[in-house]
Chains A and B, each alone.
Chain A
Amino acid sequence: MSTLSDKAADGRPATGSDAPAGGAEPSAPARDSRVGLWRMLLRDRVATAAAAVLSLIVLTAVFGPLLVGSAATEQHLDNTNQPPFTFDDGWLGVLGTDPLGQSVLARLVVAARTTFSVAAPAVALALAIGALIGMWAGYHRGLRETLAMRVADIIMSFPSLLMAVVVLYVFSPSVANLVVVLAITRIPVYLRTARAESTELQSRLFVDAARTFGTSSSAIIRRHVFPIVLPTLLTLATLEFCYVMLAESSLSFLGIGIQPPDVSWGLMVSQGRSYLQTAWWLTFFPGLAIIVTTVSATVLAAWARLATDPAQRWRLTLPRRARHRTRTAPAPQEAQS
């Protein structure tokens, strides 16, 4: 992390001292760079696909439950454990049915909302608290920094799942408790990152300049530190979303996360486990849903990290064709434009 930000600090590609004048980061207006970001995303087919899939999943989580209506809880005891990929019972049966005759597809859609309603607030909460404390600690250094880092170390040195197990066992598993526990265990991640960047920034000249004008430290953090730290934190949050989702699934799987009659992807895997030999689709599809969501988010985060790092951005601009050396005679002059 530090090597990346060091390079970014240079503000120019780390490779080659003789970068061309019109190189990777011309002083294009900020408005332009946003358009450029879109174009860059569209150029990377894998990242585009990931973004599309993720948008689809988010839309499903938000609007899907309205669409499937009560299908997720309707029991059809005459139609249990139907295998997937048949349209005999309409499109809701395409992913099979469970031992109560409920549509797996409908349940997946409803579970998506539960899964997201745990993961999204947990990530947002951890991000907000971690970023605030981290920037504050990194900006002021000294005792405040040591204290914040110590606490972060304590939380990090303890396996998060165990902490969640203990806490949820005490305070009974509910969505709110899940959110709080998952947020607390993930705060140190943002705290450390925000601190590292803010420590680096507070020694920079533009912060010094602001300080000589008598700007208050909270205003400096808000205006000068936060905007620079934000892209890194958002990329991190995307990855953390995956982590939190996996943690929620694990807890639900262990029986101390989401409780029936609510349903989440992890809980679905757990519930389908005993039917593994007779109805594999009960565990397979929820697991697949977790993987597809996580992979998409990871791909997108990896892309975003590259795209927002001036020292790395050039990698995205390479043409996709195999880059073997051209040994042909001198290239035609009009190749330049």
Chain B
Amino acid sequence: MSQQGSSTARPRFIGGSGGSRPTGEKAKDRRGTLRRLADYLKPYHARLILVALLVVAATLFGLIGPVLLGRAIDQYVVFGDLDGLLQIALVMLGVYLAQGLFTVIHGVIMTRIGQHFVADIRMALFRHYQALSMDYHDRHRTGDLMSRIANDSETINQILSNGLIQFTTNILSLGGIMVAMLLLNLPLAIGTLIILPVMLWITSQITERTRKAFRGMQKNLGWLNAVMEENITGIRAVQAYAQEDAAIAQFQDASQAYRAVGIRADFITAALGPMFTTMMILTVAATSLLGGWLALRDIVSVGVIATFVIYIMNFFRPMRGIAMVYNQLQSALAGAERIFAALDAAPTVTDAPHALPLGDIRGAVRFDNVDFAYERDKPVLESINLQVEPGQTIALVGPTGAGKTTIISLLSRFYDVTAGSIRIDDRDIRNVTQDSIREQLGIVLQDTFLFSGTVMQNIRYGRLGASDAEVIEAAKLANADSFIRLLPRGYQTQVSEKGHNFSQGQRQLLAIARAILADPRILILDEATSSVDTRTEIHIQEALLRLLEGRTAFVIAHRLSTIRNADQVLVVNDQRIIERGTHDELLAMGGFYHDLYMSQYQRVEELVALK
């Protein structure tokens, strides 16, 4: 249904309607999950009790109707009492209207409760996602986290605003019908109700089989989706190697298997579901046979038989309803379990109990013997020591995967060090609040993330209180103003999904503007590896120089000019800082850095000589 959200992560977005489809999944700890859900419903207790009363009343009134009908036939129609008939008809009308009114009221209340409840859950999830540390976000796919907010909460809503009432109504109706039957005529009631165990058995059979069948379908669907995902996302490779036929054959196999289990599942649901109708006819036949026989002996009146028949017709709908609600409940519980799992995840980076804000800083940074590992026994950084004076620029160089990005992530306290300490202005960053550190940091990544919204809003993300004039001023300093003005709607131009309507260079200029607006003391910069066109490149370099002025800066550097201008160059390789100094010092040292650049140079000469 929703087109925009779906990505390769395959979240299934359910909106508005639908979602009662059994998926065959089951919660692991049903009771615990149920109890926690009930806890969340506490604020609604008073209203829930009101709903329960209304449901009982509505169901009872619904049950009285057929009794009145039977009585009307036996006592007034047969004896020709028109006044009595009018009276009872009016009573019936009143009863039905009251039933309708009660249903409306509890329906409205429950809808509100359900919607508020899921909105609260969505809010709690979103809030929690903001609190969770980067390592959690690294490990979980966006689609997965999204589907908890979008789908899992929706399945809970389904059961709450609809299922719960249906379930109660159905149980009450069943109970009420049985009681009414027993009161009306004991022998006939016993005769009719004998069929009940049979029906229960059939219901459980259907539920179980349906679930099994759907589980099988789900599994095959997974296969089908995997094949499809590969061959559609990889379609350029498929076509480049002219392997379309192989892809189609592979898809056909998976599709065929999915069809085979699908036919089974469909057959079970399609054929067994309507079996209730057959059971109903059989029960009506048995009841009227027994009723007729009893009527001949004057034990039962015709009106009672009519009432019974209506009851029987009404008996089977709740049975089916209960089976459906049961399936719904299963998937709702599974969804709730996933939601709770997310809510239970604890942030790994937290503020210390008495953490103070960092306050204004000069911008000195020190790493003392820092070790870091995402996973135990897999060190990413080992004994990192570095000291930076306020206003200095540090260039980090080294092969990909050496740990440069991790160093700056630690400084932002996206992760906590495994050992050692990081200090800003001599204060351990674990003793101050996370927010106050990040407020002093500005980050410009090589692939800039833009949010949908206008260009103006995207720059303003750096400082929310900034006026339009300040935003434009920042854009000017970032050399972004000139290209923004050429856009069709200037600063009000909409940024499309992930900013694809801007070139990489333009996105970086916007990020620089954002950072200028934020005016941080410490700057973190991830230089772009790929070349952008020459003019934009000059613009970026110019803007960066302006941005670096008077700030402490860490630059993951790819450009020689940046490295040469740095106060310190740190060469990171195999989880360690192996060399440090200025560019010239490092070259003179004749170590790894020297080799890195010499090999490049030698290759050039070699190749040029070759020609």
Q: Do the two shown chains form a genuine complex with each other? A: no
A residues contacting B by CB (< 8 A) are none
What is the interface of chain B, defined by CB distance below 8 A to chain A?
none
